[in-house]
Amino acid sequence: MVLTLAGVLTWALWPGEEPRSRQYREAVACLLTDDQGLRGAQAAEVWSGMQDASLETLARVQYLTVDGAQTVENARGLLNSQIQSRCSMVLAVGEAPGAAVREAAPVHPGVMFVLFGDMINGAPKNLSVMKSSRGDVHDVLVDEMGSDLR
């Protein structure tokens, strides 16, 4: 009986291994794509940069695809869900997602928005336009989300 109790206590108090899953920070970066989703060349490039930055910063990354009609109204609903789920940065690829972001940026100054393509005159401070290269996306996410401080 004593040996059994000693064995159970030893097992219960033995130091455990480090968790194998990644322990993410509260920061979340979100991608909103057109109906091509991650199959589109530009979205795939952006998503790769986001994943690279996630490994470095331990910020979570997620994406939503605008299915069905490619309208601002459809994109707006998904964008609003990303904002409400506490995405601190939203990147958008495609015409409808981009239009929804241009509309939402002035109303949500606490969220950083990123579009890809030509510069926008008179854009609010929380809206950036950049190239859609994997490295550029990685760099802007690391700058915005901060590096992992492990």
Cα-based distances in Å from 88 to 4, 37, 110: 52, 21, 7
Write down the pLDDT at residue 149: 39
pTM for this structure? 0.81
- Please state the separation of Cα 64 from the chain's center in Å: 10
Q: Structure tokens of 116?
A: 């890809």
Q: What is the pLDDT of residues 19-52, one digit of tens each?
A: 556 566 678 999 999 999 999 999 999 999 999 9
- Which residue did the predictor score with more confidence, 98 or 18? 98
Write down the pLDDT at residue 14: 59
Which domains, from first to last, does the chain contain? Answer: 24-145 (3.40.50.2300)
- Phi, psi (degrees; rounded to nearest 5) at 64: -130, 150
